[in-house]
Amino acid sequence: MPLGSGLLKSRLASIKEELESLEPFSKNVWPLVRAAEKALEEGDVEAAEWLALIAEIRTSYARYWAAKNRRRG
């Protein structure tokens, strides 16, 4: 297991957990999470870290839209 992959796995698990609560606003983030997991499986930790970072940013955006939708509805 490459250095840092354990932390990255827990980071991805945390992102996935949050995404489940943000459906349907998180549908565009799931492909990034899957790509990060695949990169990690292939040993490309740097690519997985970048993909996880982008997924976190998009998760934040999904969180914003979910909150905005709750206020409206």
pTM for the model stands at: 0.86
Q: How far apart are CA 48 and CA 57, in angstroms?
A: 14
Query: How far apart, in Å, do the first and last CA atoms of the chain sit?
Result: 46
Query: Residue range 50-56: average pLDDT?
Result: 97
Higher pLDDT, 22 or 1: 22
Higher pLDDT, 72 or 49: 49
Interior/surface letters 4-33, b for 16+ CB within 10 angstroms, e for the rest: eeeebbebbeebbebbeebeebbeebbebb
Assess whether pLDDT exceeds 60 at residue 1: no
Query: Residue range 38-43: average pLDDT?
Result: 95
